[in-house]
Structure 1
């Protein structure tokens, strides 16, 4: 299979044609080999516009959603980005193609190790991964220019807002276990925020002290 052709078709048919216009996002999605971030048996499906299982009850998000969430951050290049939920590492790699440095938090050690290996393989040397409860963010590395959360939260953890720099943007799915709304929160000044509702979505739950508890999932 010619994955470069599949990647270009994915961007043209599933992303660009549906309204994503950010040139940096489109180029990143053309560059990142999505098939490396799924199991070998699923490589042939990697460029379809749907999520795929990656084990541990987690998924790799559909390409369109990855593009929409990345575009919503309004990155220009060179930023410090916090990602909550490394997962397969695919979204991480897309961010790394644009941002200056990505700090990614994952609660499942096996996923973090696998993502690290693939990110190293494709040369994403500007990514730091930490295994911990992502609902608390990464306080030691604050402030961040952007924060992207790849799991659905019952509400917005206060720590994310505190770790966001002024002018920075937080993109996070918020809602019930079954469905969420993708929110963008812009920090306009210390202690002041503007919220926008972007679209309906459905993500795996954000598990942790400031999210859903394991016995609720």
Structure 2
């Protein structure tokens, strides 16, 4: 298959039409080879406009959602990024190309190992993968300039805000199906957070959501 042609078509017909126009994001999507992160059985659908299945009921986001979230994170070359849910490693690779360092947390060891191999094969060396439960964030390398939570949560635990640096951006998918909202939270000043709802979607939940008492609505 001519993956390069399919990739260009994906960018023009899916990603640009979803208000993703940042040239840095478009260049990153054009550079990182999505087909290498897709399960072999679905490689011919690597650029299709739907969520691709991974094992254990997990998914890869649609290409347009990946690109839109990448644009909303507004990553810079020295940013320290936290990703909750490594999955296939593709979004990790996108973020690593724009940021200084990505710490990606995955509670399924097999996912983390496979993603590690894909990332190294594609020359990504500024992503550190950790196996563990990131449902309350990952304090070890906080604060982070950007946080991306790839599974949905009923509400956002306050620990994530505590781990977000001043000036930082956080993307979370909040709510329960079928209508979930993707929210961008900015830590604009010390102790002051601003949020905006971006779009609706439906994404599988994190496997180990925090206890309700830890939620902040």
Q: TM-score, normalised by structure 2?
A: 0.94
Runs of 4+ residues over 2 Å off in structure 1: none
Q: Retained in 2: the 8 A contact 1:119–1:125?
A: yes
Tell me, yes or no, if structure 1 residue 108 matches structure 2 residue 108. yes
Secondary structure of 1:187's counterpart equals strand
Secondary structure of 2:183's counterpart equals strand
How many residues are paired up?
A: 212
Q: Which residue of 1 aligns with 2:167?
A: 167
Q: Retained in 2: the 8 A contact 1:50–1:62?
A: yes
Q: Which residue of 1 aligns with 2:144?
A: 144
Contiguous gaps of at least 5 residues in structure 2: 213-217
Secondary structure of 1:150's counterpart equals strand
Q: TM-score, normalised by structure 1?
A: 0.94
2 CA distance for matches of 1:177 and 1:162? 27
User: Per-residue CA shift, 1:127-156, capped at 9, x if unaligned?
Assistant: 001111111211010110000111111111
Post-superposition shift, 1:17?
2.5
Secondary structure of 1:135's counterpart equals coil
Describe how 1:82-161 pairs up with structure 2 within 5 A: 82-161=82-161
Post-superposition shift, 1:178?
3.1
1 CA distance for matches of 2:191 and 2:60? 33
Tell me, yes or no, if structure 1 residue 182 matches structure 2 residue 182. yes
Q: Retained in 1: the 8 A contact 2:28–2:94?
A: yes
Post-superposition shift, 1:78?
2.4
Secondary structure of 1:185's counterpart equals strand
